[in-house]
Structure 1
Amino acid sequence: MTLFQAREWWSTVVAEPESLSQACMVVDNLDNAADRADKIAVASYAGTLHVYAPSGQGADPEHDKRLERDLGIPILQLQVADVSGDNLNNLVVLHPREVVVYQVQSDSSGGLQLEQVYRHHLKRTAANMVIGHFGQSEIAMICIQSMDGALTFFKKNREMLVRYLPDFLLPGPLDYVAEDDLLVTANSSWHIKAYKFRSMAAVSEESSSQQQQASNQVSAEQSTKTGKKITEEFSFNLGEETMAISHVKVQDQSRLVVLGATSMYYLNMAGELLSCKRFEANCNCLATYRVVDQQINLLLGCDDGILRVLRDKTVIWAAGGVSQPLALSTFDSPSLPGLIAIVSAEGHLTLYYLGTDPSLPQLTQPSRPMNHEALDAEMTELQSVIRAAAAGALSKDTAQEHIHLSHGAFVHDEMVDPETGFTLSHGTTVSIATAADVTATQLSVRIVALTPIVCDHEEISLGDQEISTGTTVDVRLHFGLADSLPPSALEVKLVVDCIINDEPHVYDYTFSLPLDMALQPAAAEKQADYKLTILTNQPPVGMNTLFGDALEGLHGNETPAIGFRMQHSDSLVSVIAAKTSGRYRVQSNDFAALAIPLQALTAALHAHFKRQGQEVKVEFAEAMPLDPYFRILEQHFEMRNAIRALRVALDEAATQYRLLQKRLLARFKDPSPSNIDQFTALLEGSYQQACSRCTERCPCHELGPANCV
């Protein structure tokens, strides 16, 4: 995967799906224009030839089309080279039974037209072709590989020679390296073969008389098989299907670049492997676009939709968003050089450029006309808010001025959630209203609560309901505890998303759940394993005064101690106030159960002294109680070691039992087996030992199955 995307610059449809080949596109100065501007020629199996000269990003493809011609027969391959000897580029078109050389010329209307230079009718069905100065010929020659393994060489309007490839079954990619005068191809055995052109010519000269006699004796139909087989220069076992063969020149030395089905190979001209790189996707096509010093730069198209740029065998860039490519090449536009032309299997011709911006999700906002007066007023208001906040004189929460959230009193309204099966004990009503002259639409409310607190709704969407001045929306919510785990806090956050004045807004509102949802009054205990002591700067306050409004059943005489029993649990937490000093102790045998009573005590102290107009300071002067955490870590480590020891013992017992079974099977094959009474006892003992290991109790089972790791 890659974050970066290839940016589409220009695109058009050139053919029907599955009617294009890997050699269907060429990019070059087809019409020999003075400005040497590139044109793109694309041909299909339907016999249609298109030539485009893209003028700019988003331009009309029909306006950029310079030529469209139906040649009437399937087109297998296109090549551009000077094969006429007049120092002008020619367009070479390969058909199944003929090869045609055209001169592309400009007409008076700004389009292009084809003028045939010469044509060769082929005696064999063609597969592909390559053009080069074979044997250092002054004029470029055309070499056509046929379906039966024959290489036919044409020089202008003459057929020069025919040679058969040895061990041939199916045609493969074909390339010519001029510096070494080598023809390189791949056969059906997944071998890369190289042949010297001069050796072909030498074989032809030595056997010319024999070929002439053979041609006189065979019929016209059999004469197509006249020719001498040639010997290979080198052979390399690729081990996979060959998709393409190309070559580059690095510091006066040629190198072969072979693209396999899932790998890419670099070979020297002796057939030796220099390096190899494997890809996770299937490879389709490649193009060499520049060579710097000893580094080879390549473009690689794969069927995973990612275009890769390689330097030697290192991927230096990858961009997604590319359809399955069949052929690719570089294209230099007058306005933007360095584009990448890709023909896809769906029949699309697209020009891409490699952008540097990662493709991340973009937040789209509804378009609206610009109101400069409103923008100036909003800017003035924001600047005043910023100045007030910097001076510490911000009197209200401006982030919540558009939406007003409030909740009513909690009531005992026990119900069972039909989806989860949890019992919900308390309910409340949340009211949503807007400020004056504010209209909110597309409201949604998300309820965020920490485990084990559960709510009957995770999200409430109000749809198209509109809230404006004088309108209030009430939402009924029910809360409860999911299991016996003590909660760490009794707080719930509501997150409201809405649209105000065509702009998205998010507001949050936090409120506390009632204390009796998690705690019930009980008799306090004097002794406990875990104790926390907090200090205050005010005289002690009785428990009835602090918790009388939050919990029922705390009326009567003032008491300095109170107990809280956790809901769905036997954990008891005691809160004890000192007689003379402002010290309070919170203690319990369950360390996790101390959280809610400690928070409730702190909140009750602040609320009590705030009503009296006094300020209370709450401190914790003792060392942090980390011993329980360390004990839990040690206990967990010991359980892991015990489980590991049990697994090792079980594995040893099972291995011993399997070995005894194999020995017993070997005894059955023995033609004269000995007595197996003792062996049976050993097998029975090994079986009992393995069963005892399986039923041995794990130490963590005492804490419940959830603790077994």
Structure 2
Amino acid sequence: MSLFKAREWWAATTGSEEEFAPTAFCVADVDNQGGNKVATGSLSGLLRIYHPRQRGYLAEDLLLEQRLDAPIIQLAAGELLPGHSRLALAVLHPRKLAVYEVHAGKQNGAYHTLARAWESPLARNSFSMVLGRFGGRGSHESVAVQSIDGSVSVFEGEALSYTRLLANFLIPGPLLYSPRTNSLLTANSLLQVVSFKLSALALARADAQPQAAAGAAAGAAGGKAEKRIAPDWAIVVGEHVVDMALGRFTAGLGGGAHDVLVLGVQTLFALKEGSGQLIYQRRLDMQPSCMTVYPAGDGADPGTGGADNVLLCSATGAILVLRHSAILWAARAERPPIALAVSPFAGIKGLLVSLSAQGEACALYLGTDPPTNGVGGSHEKELDYDEMDAEHRTLLAQIRETTGGQRAEPADAITLRAQQPRSVDPPTERGLGDADGASNAQSVTVRVAVTHSGVGALSDVRLSVQCELPVYALRETIPLPAVMGGSGTPLTVPIVFRARSGGSGSGLCPTSMQAVVVASYVTADGQPRTARAEVQLPLPLVARAIPPVKSADFKVTLDTDQPPLPLAELFDDVLALPASLGEGGKGGGASGSALSLRLCSGHEVTALTSKNAGRYRLQSASFDALWLLAAELSARLRRRLPGVRVSFNEPLPLTEYFALIDAHFAARQQLVAVSSRLEQRARQFRVVQKRLLVRFKDRNPAPLFNLDALLSGTHGQIVALADDAHAARAALDAAARALACGTQLVNLLVVLRFDLDAENAAALNAHISARTADTSSEQGWEERTDAALAHALRTSLGKAGAPKESAASSSLALPPLAMPSDVSKLKKHITVVCDRLSKGGRFV
């Protein structure tokens, strides 16, 4: 069918785009003077009422313009005044529902006024409303208001009858009332259309205990707990619902029966009103924006069995007229409508009243002027199936090339190559120190080569350096004015790293010796890109040789299948430090088969070798400090002895590891308790301030009754609790760093004891992660790790012979993450995982 323009009969600009956000639209006889009027509302609270009387807009068409005290979300007209049959205007605001009477002036219906009949506050942020004679009785209509969180509140006049919370409402959908079934219909976040009987909503117990999510929502709203109501019927439509309406769409409907028309983002559905059965669907080749239904024919009455027409509007302005699934007419509006209605004006029937996104209210009629540059029909060109098949093969080849695993790198990319340092800088190359006063500390200079593979120069390239404390970079951000392209000499950027051994970094055990350098830049065509390089910093940066230390509380023994190497050969870079840096001048260094190191945190670790067997014992007074020496020793043995097998044959030190978990969890609980007390005192401080302000503003002076002393005392408590919170945060950070080191040590020992390959070792480190920093107050390390281990025990590490759950079903069975009351369950899961690994179970 050809597409003609919808001609404009009347149009009014309801406001500028900056002032007006078109959100509300209503066509009804709101002033009860005969003839429909057009009411519009905006987010700025501006209400306007128009009465088109002739072709073209006149100033007299604006009957009322008034700014309300809140944004307008929706407008509706109905018999909302008890004891009266007059129409009133219902205005839905975010936190209240107001009903107004529109009174006509005495001068030819002009100079209308607005009188508030009643209003009712809303406990939740509103989203939409619907009017109707609920239950089919009553002299006036009731209002059902839907909130953003899915609760439905029913108002009988200005009195709130009840509020019920509906399930699965992440994003609320349109709301519709069916008088024949006395039901409310809406769409939920499961892409379903659901129907709720109003009788079931009214009879549900409001004081029944709901599910956890419903109880939390009710507590946040400050009301009683609300019970989730099961729907009368539900059907999955599989897409987001844009609009819903009741109409006589399909053929063969009896008198008084209607279809539920559901407009999705791609499909039009027709459902049975009583059961929700799908009876019709039509795939749309446009993006719909709104829909309306009106009786077909002259004076057709739906109650007598007449058919209805359906108007569909798209985001591009296309308007389709459908009857019984057939397209009767198509037109295009110059301004795409976001709301549409059919109403007579000035004796002209069938005018389309629309509201555009630009804030223009228009009355349109379907034009019959053909387009000047219309698209020809399919008969004007014969289809070439061979050409279509060749084009299809070409498109498939392009899709496979684009989505393939091998993707070519861009020609103008930046590449970073970092030099891996083996030792610290000589004393002559050290700087003058930094803000921490570490002028005599070891430093390591990493030279990063920046290469540009394109042509020309890239400007504003920025290097960012990331590393874990106590290791830090003297310059964390390095701007590069220009990087030249071509095959010339790459740009070399030196980056100096140091380790804090005092001041703010005192007592911090190194959790990682890896640094990351990231280059961020913008290409010549404006595309932002990044390049990345990783650097493994040498052990001498954070460790110095000291005289052998014999006393130790924690010991770990690593076994190899080859004769032991001298420790002086394995750690020659540490022993090569001059006496001014290490403690070689005081007897430091390797003494036979023993080597002791002092980390920058102050912890001391010792390595001992066996005389005959390839056995290395590591010991220290701190359990978490052992991980760095154990990781370095195993890595250096594999470099010096290719093919060597490093193993751990002792029981896993889970008791010591669980002590670190207990300390970290206790630090979290302490911080939560202090934060809660601080929040209570802050609330008390605000309350006292408000009381004092009321006293000071009072014209008649009144005694303070020691409110000033209470304010001063509360302020002192807040300062003290803030200091306690700062100390609790510092204690939590220290416990988190100790737990990170202990986690890396235990993961290393698990890998060595059960001979895990690289893939399973990576999976172990992902499930029991060493990233223990608590960046969120809602999800801590304990609950994340416990959820990951529970998922592994249900899937890959399930019991032998037992059916293993899929990843999807296991993730659905896991409870929501919340801070536990204790860590006994986490300890049990860690023990079970180690037991499953010892029996041959693997993550991958």
Q: TM-score, normalised by structure 1?
A: 0.47
Q: Which has the higher helix share?
A: 2
Q: TM-score, normalised by structure 2?
A: 0.40
Q: Which has the higher strand share?
A: 1
> Which protein is bigger by CA-based radius of gyration?
1
